[in-house]
Amino acid sequence: MSKALNRVFKRNRNFPWQTLDSETVIIDPENQFSFELNEVGSLIWNHLDGQTSLSKIKERILETYDQNEEEVEMDLLSLVGQLAESHLIQMV
Amino acid sequence: MNKDLFEKVRKKSVEQAIPLQASLELTYRCNERCTHCYIEKFQDDPARILELDDWKKILKELRSAGTLYLVLMGGEPTLSSHFFSILNYGSDLGFYMSIISNGLKIQDIEYARKLKEGGLRLATFSLYSLDPLIHDKMTSVKGSHAKLMKAIFLCRDAGIKVSLNGLLTEANAKGIFDLYEWADTEGLELKVDPNVTAKLNGDMQPTLYRASRETLTWFYRERAKRWENALPTPVVEPSNAYVCNAAKGKCAVNPYGELLPCIEIREAFGSLVEKSFAELWASDKAIKWREPKIKDLSLGEHQAIYGFCDHCPGMAKNEHGKPMQLTDYTKVVAEVKSQVFREFQRESDL
Ligand SMILES: C[S@@+](CC[C@H](N)C(=O)[O-])C[C@H]1O[C@@H](n2cnc3c(N)ncnc32)[C@H](O)[C@@H]1O
Ligand code: SF4
């Protein structure tokens, strides 16, 4: 397991968001951009609560969806990387 | 939010009755006494006013129901002892937090920064005129104009987006274009609405201040002359379209925790302290307010100009008890808009 999975992130409260119908929209308050997440992305986003580690999130995804573990790990780290780069989440 | 995504989310919220926007009346108390105000009594019943924990429960339930935008209002929201706690709690949950305020309490940069740090995204201030005498006369509070101007700039300096609500009445009509120009220079969005509603108990007193037919005609003509896209144009909708968004894409909660279809329709579905949001949102009363379609309205001879009507079932119910019947004032505004539209069409045909 990648060491990176021990990390814990939390959502940046400067970006309002909502999950509607298992899809998530995250908005920039100044309406410069918005971010849309699919069902799996939404599950990840909803767990970025400052308490749940990425490995726990990976477990949740594997419990919910029938997917290959390596792919899930790669997708999870890639999405978390993108979100962190856009300052939508931060490491705790 | 980008336009396409916003449209997709908005459509989803209407189709599936997800209350994307919720207006919360934190208190009926106010430090102004606007002559046109629809609030009936500027007092809260101490036995019924919500505790912070009640508001927290409501916010959590709205979150689960799909609400993204929360509007804190009242009365004057900043007078609620829970105002900052609710603001912070809502931001932590992920809501887009906004207020509608008269600005009187926002008088130093520390207060404005506290709003910003609390996660306030948008402050909408009610500014009626650039002329302090007119604004102060409308609010019945001397010096309220100066204080509001200060609040506008303090919030902007603190990095909060500011927009303006300016009601069109007989009292402030003359200076309304000065207000538009000033707002434009300052880069502030200004909404001007002529629909002054009756008080929540049906008392028609605020409607005495409504702009006359002559003033409305002048107003819509002048707007159309100044801005190309300001000409009133008919909104064409199929007869099976919904009359409005109440109890579908929006809802409201009063200071006692009663769930309403929207701010204007004051028929409560029940208490959010006693029952869950999900239960009240699925109740017969909620369904009743969710259903009305354009074809259900009694339009009579105004059928042809319905596209110009800003019919609000709440305003109509308060005014004459019949939510599906246009008010006389809605008819007057629609007639004026339609007349101005035709005048400008004729001009462009020549
Ligand atoms: C009731 S106030 C509450 C928030 C705050 N006290 C303020 O005045 O901004 C909300 C908005 O309703 C508007 N308003 C008040 N009375 C009205 C009426 N009778 N008809 C239409 N709008 C009204 C105000 O101008 C204000 O923008
Ligand atoms: S400030 Fe707002 S709530 Fe107070 S009297 Fe004026 S319109 Fe009504």
* Per-residue confidence (pLDDT) for residue A34, from 0 to 100: 81
Q: Decide: B185 and B152 in contact? Cβ < 8 Å.
A: no
At A1, the pLDDT band (50, 70, 90 cuts) reads: low
Contact between chains at A20 and B2 (C-beta distance less than 8 A)? no
Is the pLDDT at B343 greater than 70? The verdict is: yes
Atom 9, ligand 1: residue with shortest CA distance? B101
Residue contact A16–B96, C-beta within 8 A = yes
Q: Please report the sign of the dihedral spanned by the C-alpha atoms of residue B250, residue B296, residue B269, residue B101.
A: positive
% of chain A with per-residue pLDDT over 90: 80
Pick B66's closest partner by Cβ from A13, A18, A33: A18
Q: Where residue B298 falls among pLDDT bands split at 50, 70, 90?
A: confident
Arithmetic mean of pLDDT, A12-33: 86
The two beta strands, A17-20 and A23-27, are antiparallel
Among B27-36, B233-242, B264-273, whose mean pLDDT is lowest?
A: B233-242
CB B198 within 8 A of CB B319: yes
pLDDT band at B10 (very low <50, low <70, confident <90, very high): confident
Q: Is the pLDDT assigned to residue B39 strictly greater than 80?
A: yes
Is the pLDDT assigned to residue A65 strictly greater than 80? yes
Q: Is B187 on the interface with A (CB under 8 A)?
A: no
Beta carbons of A29 and B161 less than 8 Å apart: yes
The whole-number average pLDDT for the span B241-260 is 96
Q: Are B127 and B179 in contact (CB under 8 A)?
A: yes
* Chain segment B92-129, per-residue pLDDT in tens: 999 999 999 999 999 999 999 999 999 999 999 999 99
pLDDT band of B3, cuts 50, 70, 90:
confident
Q: Is A45 on the interface with B (CB under 8 A)?
A: no
Q: Is the CB of B102 under 6 A from ligand 2?
A: yes
Cβ-Cβ contacts under 8 Å, B97 against chain A: 16
pLDDT in tens, B190-226: 999 999 999 998 999 999 999 999 999 999 999 999 9
The strands making up A17-20's β-sheet, listed across from edge to edge, are A17-20, A23-27, A34-37
| Residues whose CB is less than 8 angstroms from the CB of residue A33 and which lie 6 or more positions away in sequence, other chains included | B2
Does A31 have pLDDT greater than 80? no
Best residue in A10, A11, A14, A20 to probe B by mutation, most B CBs within 10 Å?
A: A20
- pLDDT surpassing 80 at residue A30: no
The set of protein residues with a Cβ atom below 6 angstroms from ligand 1 is B 30, 36-39, 73-74, 76, 100-102, 126, 165, 167, 195-197, 206
Q: Report whether residue B30 contacts ligand 2, using a CB cutoff of 6 Å.
A: yes
Judged by CB atoms closer than 8 Å, whether chains meet at A18 and B92 is answered as no
Atom of ligand 2 nearest to the CA of B38: 8
Contact indicator for B42, B28 with CB cutoff of 8 Å: yes
Both tokens of residue B328? 């006389």
State residue B224's pLDDT score.
Answer: 96
Q: Give yes or no for residue A29 having a pLDDT over 90.
A: no
A11, A20, A33 member nearest B66 (Cβ): A20
Determine the length of chain A.
Answer: 92
Taking the Cβ of residue A32 and every Cβ of chain B, the question of whether any pair is shorter than 8 Å is answered with: no
Distance in Å, CA B146 to ligand 2 centroid: 16
B266 pLDDT above the threshold of 90: yes
CB contact under 8 A, B94 and A11: yes
Computed over every residue of chain B, the mean pLDDT equals 95
pLDDT-based confidence at residue A28 (cuts at 50, 70, 90): confident
Report whether pLDDT(B155) > 90: yes
DSSP string, A53-80: EHHHHHHHHHHHS---HHHHHHHHHHHH
- Find chain B residues with C-beta within 8 A of A11's C-beta: 94
Q: Decide if pLDDT at B7 tops 90.
A: no
> Given ligand 2 and candidates B27, B102, B200, which is best to mutate, with the most ligand atoms within 8 Å of its CB?
B102
CA–CA dist B111, B114 (Å, integer): 5
At B103 the pLDDT is 98
Query: What's the pLDDT score for residue B119?
Result: 96
> What DSSP string describes B142-192?
TTHHHHHHHHHHHHHHTT-EEEEEEE-BTTTGGGHHHHHHHHHHHT-EEEE
Q: What is the pLDDT of residue B117?
A: 97
Predicted-complex ipTM score: 0.89
B96 vs A11, A21, A29: nearest CB:
A29
- B36 alpha carbon, closest ligand: 1
B67 contacts in A (CB within 8 Å)?
18
Please report the residues numbered 127 through 146 in chain B whose beta carbons come closer than 8 angstroms to any beta carbon of chain A: none
Cβ–Cβ gap B5/A36 under 8 Å: yes
What is the per-residue pLDDT across B44-69, written as a single tens digit (0 to 9) for each?
999 999 999 999 999 999 999 999 99
Section A69-90 average pLDDT:
95
Q: What is the DSSP letter of B242?
A: B
Residue B271, class by beta-carbon neighbours within 10 Å (0-12 exposed, 13-18 middle, 19+ buried)? middle
| Beta pairing, strands A89-91 & A8-11 | antiparallel
pLDDT band at A32 (very low <50, low <70, confident <90, very high): low
Beta strand B250-253 with B21-27 is parallel
Regarding pTM above 0.90, the answer is: yes
Please indicate whether residue B200, judged by its CB atom, sits closer than 6 Å to ligand 2: no
Two tokens, residue B318 = 């308060």
Centroid of ligand 2 to alpha carbon of B96 (angstroms): 23
Alpha-carbon gap, residue A15 to B95, rounded angstroms: 9
**Alpha-carbon gap: A29 to the closest alpha carbon of chain B (Å):** 6
